[in-house]
Amino acid sequence: MLILLTGLLLGGTYTLIALGLTLQYGVARIMNLANGETLVAACFVTFWLYTGFGIDPLLGLLVIGPGAFVVNWLIYTWLMQPLVKRASNRGMLEVDSILATFGLLFLFQGLMLQAFGGSYFNYEFLAQPFSIMGNSFGLNRVVAFVAAAVIATGLYVFLYHTDRGTAVRAVAVDPRAARLVAIDVRKTAAFAFALGGAITACAGTLLSTFYTFNTSMGVIFTMKALIIVIMGGVGDVRGAVLAALVLGVTETLVASLLDPGLTLAANYALFIVVLLFRPQGIFGKRPA
Amino acid sequence: MMNIPRNELLALGAGLAGAAVLAFLPLVTEGFWLSLSVNIMLYAAICTAWALFSGPTYLVSLASAAFFGVGTYSVAIFIDVLPFPALILIAVVAGALLATLVGLATLRLSGVYFVIFTLGLAELLGQIVTWVQTNFGGTIGLYVFTDFTETHLYWMLLALTVVVFVTGWLINRSRLGLALRIIGNDEAVARHVGVDTARTRVILFAVSGAFIAVAGAIMAPRYGYITPDAAFNPMTSFLVVIMALLGGTRRLWGPLVGVVPFTVVMDFISGHFPNQTAVIMGLAFLAIVYVLPDGVTGQLETLFRRRRSIDKSLPATTAEEGR
Amino acid sequence: MLRRSFNVLMLSAALAAGTFSAAFAQDPVRIGVSASKTGPLAGGASGVLWPNIKLWAEKVNKAGGLKVGDQMRPIEIVEYDDKSSPEEAVKNIQRLATQDQVDLIIPPYSTGLNLATAPLIAKYGYPQVVSTGNANDLDQFVKRWPNTFWLLGPAQGIADGIVGTLKDLRDAGKIGNRVAVVNVSDAFGLEMIKTGKPALKQAGFDIVYETSYPLGNQDVAPVIASAKAANPDAFIAYSYPPDTFALTEQAQLQKLDVKAFFVSVGGNLDGYGKRFGAAANGVLIMGGVNASDPVFQAYRKEHLAVTGQEADWWASPVAYASLEILQQAVEHVGSLDKQALNKEIQSGTFKTVIGDIHFENNINNNNWTVGQWSDGVVHGVRATGNIQGAQPPVLKPAWPSN
C-alpha cells in the first residue's frame, strides 16, 4: 500500500512534467527540447519570488502560469512559425524544431547561469508530514499531486467538452483536415504551444517545493517527459496521465522490491514493451 | 565496381592526398593546436559515421554517446589483459552488436520512437554499467594508463576517419547503397520492389555504431580514468547531430564541412567568453537553423544550382522529394 | 591572438585599494583555471571552487600582489569552462599551457577531471594541487605523476571516519549495533561504499539494510521507508547534494528516528543548515571544520563579503587552502620555476585556513572526516592524522515535528 501510494505521488509529479510537452509536441508538432529548461526556469522564478518577496509558491502559480503562456506564445509565433511554414513535411519540421529548440535550451541555460549561477538551490515549503492511511508523506508532494490532478482534469474537460478544445484535438489528429473544417490551424497550434509552456512552468513551480535544482538539470526532465509522452501516445492527455502513473508506480515498485539502481532500466524496459506492442501509444489508434 | 566514374576517382585521390598531408600535422605543432585537431578529427570520424546511417535513412540517431561509451569501456575493462589493437576489435564487435540489438527493437517503428529511444540509450547503458560495477565490480572508475600521446591519438583518429570515408564510398557504390537510396526516397516503393527495409537499416546502423565505438576506444587513453558519466555523456550525441546537420548529410563529405567550422567557432567562443558560452552557443544554433536550413553543403549546392538553373535535367534530390 | 585576460578582478582590487601602487607596474602573474561552469559538475564547482578563486585573487591583489622573489606582482586569472567534459578539460589545459602560457594552473573540479588532466599538467610540469578530488589508489597515481598533490587524502580515510565515530558511540554503550547504509551509485558513492562497508563489518556492525540509488534521483521515499522497516540504530548515506537534501527531508517526514544520522556531500553546505534549521541539529556530515578556530571564522566572513555566498563547512576552506599553498610555495621558492615549486610543495609546510599542511608522499593525511550540525554551525567531531579541536559527537535527537 505504501509502495502504491508513493508510486502514485511520484506519478503525479511525472504527470506534471509530461502534460506540457504532450500539447507542444502533439498539437503544435514542436519537439521542444527546451521543455526541461522552461521547467527549471520556473523553479528559479518561484524560488526568487518566495525567498525574495515572500510570495507563496501556490500564489506564484498565478503569476508564473500566465507569464509562461505569453513567453511561449511569443516563442512560437516568432521562432517556430517560420519553421512550420518552410517545412514541407513532418520529418523536416521535426529535425528543424529539434535543432531550434536545442539552441533555445542553451540560450535558456546560459541566461539562468548568468542570473543564478550554477549552484544547487532549494527552499522549504510545506515540508510537513501528511498522513494517508497511516503512512506519512510530504505535504508538498501531496499538494503537487492534487494540483496535477486539477490541471489534468481541467485540461481534459477543456479538450473534450469545449469547442476550442475540440479544435485543438482536431489539429493534433490532422492539421490539413482541420483546416478544411475552418479551424485556424496556426492560431490553434500557437495556443497549444503556449498552453503547454504554461503547464510546464506550473509543473516547475510545484516541483521546486520538494526538489533540489540547479541550472543544468533541465535535460533530465525533458527526457522523462519525452518517454511519458511517447508511451501515452503523442498529444493524448489521458494517455500521458496513465503512462505517468504507471511509470511512477513501476519505479517505486522496482526501487522498493528490487533495487533503486535499476529504476531507469525499468523505465526503458517499460518503454520498449509499450513500443513493441502498442507503438501508437496506450490510447493511440493505429493509423490507417 | 568496374566502372568507377573519373570524378569519383579524382575525389578519392584528393581525399587520400589530403589525409596524407594532415598526417604530418603533429610534426609541425604540438600542444593546443594538436589537441584542438584531435577534437576535430574525433568529431569528423563520429559525424561521418553517424551520417552513414542517418543521412540516407532520415532517422535522427541520438545513440552516438552510447556507442562511444561502449567503445571506451571495451578499452577500460580489458586494457590490462589485451593489447590495444585487440581492444579496438572488441569495440567494433560491441558497437555493432549493440546497434543490431537496438536496431532490431526499434527500427521497424517510425522515426520519432527511434529518436527518443536512442536519446535514452546512453543514459540506460551508463546506469547499467554503474549498477554492474556497484554490485560486482567494486570501484566505478577504471584507470586507463597507456603511453599514447596526443600525436598517437591524432594519427589513430585520422586513420579511422579515412576508413569511415572509404567505407561510406564503398557502401554508396554497392547494392546496399542503392537499397538505401530507394528507401530514402520512398519507403513504400522500396518495399514494393523487394527491398528488405528493416534489414538494410539494421546493417547500416551496425556499421555506423561500430565506427563510433572505435572512436570511443581510441579516446579512452585520453580520459585516463573512465567513469560512466564521462563515457556516456549525452552531450556527445547532440554535438554529433548538430555538426553533421550543419554540414549537411546528403554528401559523404557533408559532415566534415560542418565539423571543422563548428569546432573552431565553438572553441573561439569558449576561449573568449567562458562565462557566456551557453548563451552564445544557443544564439549561434538558432542562427544556423534560420540561416542555413540545408547545412553548409546544401547552401553550396543551392548556389551551384542557381548558376546552372537552365539545366533543369539535374537530378536534384531536395528534401521536398526526400519523403 | 587567442588570448583573453580577465583583468576585472585585478582592476577592481586595484581601484578598491584607491591607487595603482608601484607594485602594479609589474607584470602580472598569470594563473590559469579550467573548471566546470556548465554541465553536471557545475553545481559543485560554482559552490566550492570558483568563489574561492575569486576571493583569493582579490585578497592577494589587495595586499599588493603575489611576492615573487623581491617583487610584488599582481595576479591575473585566466579562466575557461570545461563544460564538465574531459575533452574540453584536456583542451583547456593545453590552451592554458601553450597559448596563454600561464605561470600556474589551478586544477579542475572533481576526481574524474583531475585524473583526466593529470598527464597533461604533468607534461608541462605544473604543480597540481587537488582540493576537490580523491580516490582509493592515490599512491599508484602519485608515483606516476609526482606533481599531483591530494589535499583531501585517500578516499579510505573519509569513508572510514563515520565508522569510527559510530564505533566510539557503540563502545560507549550509546547506540546499538544495527546500521542502515545507502549510497549514490556514481564514482564517489562507490569509492565510499567500497571501503565503508568492510570497515563497518570489521567493526562488528550489523548491516540491516543497504542499497544504492542512481545519481540525480530525488524520489527517495522508498529508500527511507525500507531503511525504516529494518529498524536501524544508525543511518549512513554516502550521498550527493540533490539526494542528500531529499534523504533528509524524507527521513524527517517518515520519522526515521535513529541515534546517528549521517549524510555526505551536500550536508556540508551552509544551505543545508538553513534549509532544515533546528531539524539539522545532531546530523552528522562528511568532512567538517574547526568552527571555533578564529582563522576559519575570519575566512567565512570574507568569503561572504567578497563572493556574496556562504562558504561551506568542509570543501570551501580546503579549496582555499590549495590556493594558499600555491601562493606560499611561490613565496618560499622566490620564483615561478615549476620544478622548484613542485619540490617545495612536496617538502614544505604551509599555513592555511585549515591549519598547517604538510604533504607526505604528496598526500595530505590530516583531514576532517566527520562533522556535526549544531545550531547552524558544523563542528568537526573526527579527523585523520593530528588535527586538533575535534568535539565529542552527540546523539541525534528525534526529528522535531513541525
**Helix/strand/coil for B176:** helix
Mean pLDDT computed over B11-27? 78
Cell 527546451 identifies what position? A34
pLDDT mean across residues, chain B: 80
Residues of B in contact with C187 (CB under 8 A): 140-141, 227, 229
DSSP code string of B224-283:
SEE-HHHHT-HHHHHHHHHHHHHH-SSSTTHHHHHHHHHHHHHHHHHHH-TTTHHHHHHH
Lookup: cell for C383: 579527523
Torsion angles phi and psi, residue B133, rounded to 5: -65, -35
As a whole number of angstroms, the distance between CA B159 and CA B264 comes to 21
> Of the ranges A190-194, B293-297, C146-150, which one carries the lowest mean pLDDT score?
B293-297
In order, the DSSP letters of B179-204 are HHHHHHH-HHHHHHTT--HHHHHHHH
- Please answer yes or no on whether A99 and B288 come within 8 Å at the CB atom: yes
Looking at the complex, report in whole angstroms how far the Cα of residue B288 sits from the nearest Cα belonging to chain A.
9
Residue in the structure block whose three cell numbers are 598547517: C356
For the ranges A217-221, B10-14, C325-329, the maximum mean pLDDT occurs at C325-329
> How high is the mean pLDDT of chain A?
83
Q: Is the pLDDT reported for residue C6 higher than 60?
A: no
Predicted confidence at residue A200, as pLDDT, reads 93
- From B23, B182, B205, select the one nearest B97 (Cα to Cα): B205
Nearest-by-CA chain A residue for B135: A261
B225/C4 CB distance under 8 A: no
SS3 C283: coil
Instruction: Give the tens place of pLDDT for each residue, A59-105.
Output: 888 899 999 999 999 999 888 888 888 877 766 777 778 778 888 88
Chain C partners within 8 Å of A6 (Cβ): 221-222, 225
Cβ contact, residue pair C46, A117, below 8 Å? yes
User: Above 60 in pLDDT, residue C290?
Assistant: yes
Which architecture does CATH list for B6-310? Orthogonal Bundle (1.10)
Q: Which subunits have 3 or more CB–CB pairs within 8 Å of chain A?
A: B, C
Q: Is residue B312's pLDDT more than 70?
A: no
Find, among C105, C108, C46, the residue nearest to C77 by Cα: C105
Nearest CA in chain A to B241: A99
C14 pLDDT band, cuts 50/70/90, is very low
Going from N- to C-terminal start, the domains of chain B cover 6-310
Residue contacts between A and B (CB atoms, under 8 Å): 119
Chain B: touching chains (3 or more CB pairs < 8 Å): A, C
- Out of A88, A107, A267, name the one closest to residue B282 (CB): A107
Write the Ramachandran bin of C222: left for phi over 0, alpha for psi from -120 to 50, otherwise beta. Answer: alpha
Percent of the residues in chain A that have a pLDDT greater than 90, as a whole number: 14
CA atoms within 13 A on the CB side of B6: 0
pLDDT attached to residue B321: 34
Using an 8 Å CB-CB cutoff, list chain A residues near C277.
124
Q: Are B254 and B295 in contact (CB under 8 A)?
A: yes
C186:B139 CB<8 A: no
Length of chain A: 288
Write the CA distances from B30 to B24, B38, C81, integer angstroms: 11, 11, 22
Residue B70 has pLDDT above 50, yes or no: yes
Considering the domain delimited by C156-289+369-383, tell me its CATH architecture: 3-Layer(aba) Sandwich (3.40)
Q: What is the pLDDT of residues C62-102, one digit of tens each?
A: 999 999 988 899 999 999 988 888 878 888 898 898 888 99
pLDDT for residue C402: 58
Calpha distance C175→C395 (Å, rounded): 8
Query: Which of B275, B289, B323 is closest, CB to CB, to A103?
Result: B289
A160–B contact, CB cutoff 8 A = no
Please state which CATH class domain A2-120+135-277 belongs to.
Answer: mainly alpha
pLDDT of B316 higher than 80 = no
B217 pLDDT higher than 90? yes
**pLDDT of C319:** 93
Does the reported pTM lie above 0.95?
no
How much of chain C exceeds pLDDT 70, in percent? 93
Contact list in A for residue C255 (CB cut-off 8 A) is 129, 136
Asked if A113 is an interface residue toward chain C (Cβ–Cβ < 8 A), one would say yes
Q: Which of B60, B109, B319 sits opposite A98 (nearest CB)?
A: B60
Higher-pLDDT residue of A12, A134: A12
CA–CA min distance B92, chain C (Å): 22
Q: How much is the mean pLDDT over chain C?
A: 86
The residues on B that touch C, with CB distances below 8 Å, are 30-32, 34-36, 39, 42, 127, 130-131, 133-134, 138-141, 143, 145, 150, 219, 222-225, 227-230, 233, 235, 267-268, 270-272, 274-275, 277-278
Interface contact flag, B131 A262, Cβ < 8 Å: yes
Q: Is the pLDDT of residue C344 over 60?
A: yes
Please report the pLDDT score of residue B139 as a whole number. Answer: 61
pLDDT-based confidence at residue C15 (cuts at 50, 70, 90): very low
Q: Among B120, B278, B286, whose Cβ lies nearest the Cβ of A223?
A: B120
Q: Smallest Cα–Cα separation from B257: which of B75, B113, B51?
A: B51
Q: Chain C: give the shortest CA distance to residue B32, in Å.
A: 5
Nearest chain C residue (CA) to A139: C253
Question: What's the whole-number mean pLDDT along residues C238-256?
Answer: 89
Q: What is the mean pLDDT of residues C309-313?
A: 90
- Return d(Cα C229, Cα C240) in angstroms, integer: 23
Domain ranges of chain A: 2-120+135-277
Cα Rg, chain C, nearest whole Å:
21
Segment C128-152 shows an average pLDDT of: 86
**Does B302 score more than 50 pLDDT?**
yes
Q: Is residue B194 exposed (0-12), middle (13-18) or buried (19+ Cβ within 10 Å)? A: exposed
At the second CATH level, the architecture of C8-154+292-358 is 3-Layer(aba) Sandwich (3.40)
The whole-angstrom distance between B313's CA and the closest CA on chain A is 22
pLDDT at B313: 40
Q: Which residue on chain A is closest to C222 by alpha carbon?
A: A256
Provide the grid cell at A170: 482536431
* % of residues, chain B, pLDDT over 90: 19
| Mean pLDDT across A202-224 | 86
Q: Scan residues 282-321 of B and list those with Cβ closer than 8 Å to A.
A: 282-286, 288-290, 293, 319-320
Per the DSSP assignment, residues forming a β-bridge with C29 are C75
- Cα A53 to Cα A40: distance, rounded to the nearest angstrom: 19
User: Do the chains contact at A252 and C221, CB–CB below 8 Å?
Assistant: yes
Q: Which of B150, B144, B121 has its CA nearest to residue B73?
A: B144
Which of these ranges, B207-211, C113-117, C344-348, has the smallest mean pLDDT? C113-117
- CB–CB contact A110 B245 (8 Å): no
Q: Order across the sheet with C234-238: list the strands.
A: C206-213, C178-184, C234-238, C260-263, C284-286, C368-374, C377-383
Count Cβ atoms below 10 Å from residue B155 Cβ, excluding itself.
Answer: 18
User: Using CB atoms, which chains have 3+ pairs under 8 A with C?
Assistant: A, B
Delimiting residues of CATH 3.40.50.2300 domain(s) in chain C: 8-154+292-358, 156-289+369-383
In which band, very low, low, confident or very high, does the pLDDT at C3 lie, cut at 50, 70 and 90?
Answer: very low
More confident site: A142 or A88: A142
Inter-chain touch B58–A91, beta carbons under 8 Å: yes
Helices B64-78 and B234-247: crossing angle, nearest 10°?
130
pLDDT at position B137: 63
Mean pLDDT over residues C274-288, rounded?
Answer: 90
Tens-digit pLDDT profile for residues A231-271: 887 777 888 888 889 888 888 888 777 777 777 777 777 87
Residue C189 has pLDDT above 60, yes or no: yes
